[in-house]
Amino acid sequence: MSRRPIVAGNWKMHGTVSSVEQLVNGLLESELSALNCDVAVCPPALYVAQVQQLVADSMINVGTQNCSPFEQGAYTGEISAKMSADIGCKYVILGHSERRTLFAESDEVIAEKVAAVLEAGLVPVFCVGETLEQREGNETLDVITQQLNVVADKIGNDKLVELVIAYEPVWAIGTGKTASPEQAQEVHAAIRRWLASRSESAAAEVRIVYGGSVKAANATELFAQADIDGGLIGGAALDANEFYQICKAAG
């Protein structure tokens, strides 16, 4: 079984025109293209066009961090999946725990967004994960299965193969507290078993990436796990060398 690893940088709400230029130039100077790894960066939407121009002749793909569930119309402040496609993006991050908790996104809204992204011909990077309270209450697998079921029921099992799934334990995001490779692998294996119950080809092909305080120092161990196919990187994606080292650990 050979799934090509993927590492994506989620820049969240960070950056300026000049810091974006510096970061992307740093990435372009590294030897990302020599790696056996898909690489994507997901800047704030306002900087996507700038990043697209800078990476145009490279293997770096670009994604957005969210999209509207609607196609177009009077939705002030929203950006559609088709707009992300139009500007040349390949990925859209959806269901991030910051969107779920800070912006009250329900499983149902996230499922609509995943459907919109697939309709636009892009790859959803669909995030799932449990809170510390849920982990301590032994609810991790139930919570994740519920998050997955709502999306699968909306898009249909045949479409699951088109997803990248990111497992991001909420307690590990931005806290410096990484899931141990064994803790992460346990959940990744459970996600793959869930995929198999829906679609054998999805179970074989879908990349399940880990996110939550991934750094160059812990990436190798995490990515060595059988069902961890790369990473979704927050803070460490804002440093070109650190991000390159993480990509190197994956590919």
Active-site amino acid positions: 96, 168
Residue 233 interacting with ligand 13P (CB under 6 A): yes
Does 214 help bind ligand 13P (rule: CB under 6 A)?
A: yes
Q: Which of 169, 181, 234, 251 binds ligand 13P (CB under 6 A)?
A: 234
The single residue among 110, 117, 123, 173 that binds ligand 13P, judged by CB under 6 A, is 173
- Residues 5, 10, 91, 111: which binds ligand 13P (CB under 6 A)? 10
Query: CB nearest ligand 13P: which residue?
Result: 234
Long-range contacts of 155-162, Cβ-Cβ distance < 8 Å, separation of 24 or more: 155/111, 155/114, 155/115, 155/118, 157/198, 157/199, 157/202, 158/199, 159/118, 160/195, 160/198, 160/199, 160/202, 160/206, 161/199, 161/201, 161/202, 161/205, 161/206, 162/118, 162/123, 162/124
- 235 lines the binding site for ligand 13P (CB under 6 A): yes
Contacting ligand 13P within 81-100 (CB under 6 A): 96
- Minimum distance of ligand 13P from residue 95's CB (angstroms): 10
Give the whole-angstrom CA distance, residue 237 versus residue 244.
9
169 binds ligand 13P (CB under 6 A): no
Minimum distance from residue 96 beta carbon to ligand 13P (Å): 6
Judged by CB under 6 A, the stretch of 108-116, 156-164, 166-174, 182-190 that binds ligand 13P is 166-174
Residue in 121, 137, 156, 174 binding ligand 13P, rule: CB under 6 A: 174
Residue 101: strand, helix, or coil:
helix
Phi, psi of 202 (to 5 degrees): -65, -40
DSSP 235: G
Backbone angles phi, psi at 233, to 5 degrees: -110, 130
- Residue 178 beta carbon to ligand 13P: minimum distance, rounded to whole angstroms: 8
Beta carbons within 8 Å of 194's beta carbon, 6+ residues apart: 144, 145, 148
Binding residues for ligand 13P, rule: CB under 6 A, are 10, 96, 168, 173-174, 211-214, 232-236
